[in-house]
Amino acid sequence: MESSGCAVRTVIPGDALYSSKEGYECGRGVYELRGFIRAARVGYVFLSEKTNPTSSKTVKVVEVLNSDGSFTYQVPFIGAIVTAKVVEISDRSAKCTMIRIEDTILQKGASFSAIIRKEDMRDDVKLDQFKVRECVLPGDYIIASVISTGDSYYLLSICDSRLGVVAVKSPSKNQWLSPTSYEAQSLGPRKVAIIPNTLPQINSLSINE
């Protein structure tokens, strides 16, 4: 499947693009909600056609891409898997700085601020049965999902078992630890990410001091 050569129009996250009941299908950079295909990122709408090999029916695929038709990420979008550094915690939330969107490492100075609310950290236990500091601590690197966009910050979630802490700074050595290592576990509990092959591995993260 190839994207069409011309962008249809520019959009921002949440814009309703086409009715999902009119033969349109989601591609990259979009999602379906309440009967409409919506933009999940800032970009340009591209339409292409795809033939179903079993039914021979042709469907129109909707995508939101960069102006040149590429799909490198310039800003976070709803549903994106991001890598972020925890910079501050409180009893109700953790403040983070995103450094990577999916497989795209952000250039220096292009980071985005984000917040993880306590209710978006764990869904396997009741809210009053755990503390924020038992999930993440300042300095931790996490993998999270973008669940909402805003003017000043993004909302992230690490509830999914695949999401959570992926790197912990050793206080005694100038190195990063796997959160499952003995030394990291001795520093306190974490909500550790169970990382499948499709997500960035700890040794592939671009971690700055």
The rounded mean pLDDT for the chain is 81
Q: For the chain, what is the domain count? A: 2
Of 19, 40, 65, the domain-final residue = 65
DSSP characters over the chain: ----SS---EE-TT-EEEETTTTEEE-TTEEEETTEEEESSSEEEEEEEEE-TTT--EEEEEEEE-TTS----SS--TT-EEEEEEEEE-SSEEEEEEEEETTEEPPTT--EEEEEEGGGT-SSS-GGG--GGGT--TT-EEEEEEEE--SS-EEEE--STT-EEEEEE-SSSSSEE-TTSHHHHHT----B----TTS--GGG-----
More confident residue, 50 or 139: 139
Predicted confidence at residue 207, as pLDDT, reads 46
Cβ atoms of 5 and 44 closer than 8 Å: no
More confident residue, 43 or 82: 82
Let me know whether 52 and 137 are in one domain: no
Let me know whether 104 and 136 are in one domain: yes
Q: Give the pLDDT confidence of 9-36 residue by residue, as tens digits.
A: 888 878 889 988 888 888 888 888 888 9
The residues with which 82 forms a beta bridge, in sequence order, are: 101, 144
Whether 86 is covered by a domain: the verdict is yes
Predicted confidence at residue 202, as pLDDT, reads 47
Predicted confidence at residue 169, as pLDDT, reads 76
Whether 76 is covered by a domain: the verdict is no
Let me know whether 96 and 175 are in one domain: yes
Nearest in space to 156 (alpha carbons), one of 96, 209, 206, 203: 96
- Residue 21 belongs to a domain with what CATH number? 2.40.50.100
- Residue 174 belongs to a domain with what CATH number? 2.40.50.140
Let me know whether 153 and 60 are in one domain: no
Q: 206: pLDDT confidence band, cut at 50, 70 and 90?
A: very low
Half-sphere exposure of 189 (CA within 13 A, CB side): 7
More confident residue, 5 or 33: 33
**Range of the structural domain that residue 145 is part of:** 81-204
More confident residue, 21 or 145: 145
Q: Give the pLDDT confidence of 93-102 residue by residue, as tens digits.
A: 999 999 888 8
Predicted confidence at residue 41, as pLDDT, reads 76
Predicted confidence at residue 194, as pLDDT, reads 81
Let me know whether 20 and 116 are in one domain: no
Let me know whether 121 and 145 are in one domain: yes
Whether 70 is covered by a domain: the verdict is no
Segment 102-129 mean pLDDT: 86
pLDDT > 70? residue 196:
no
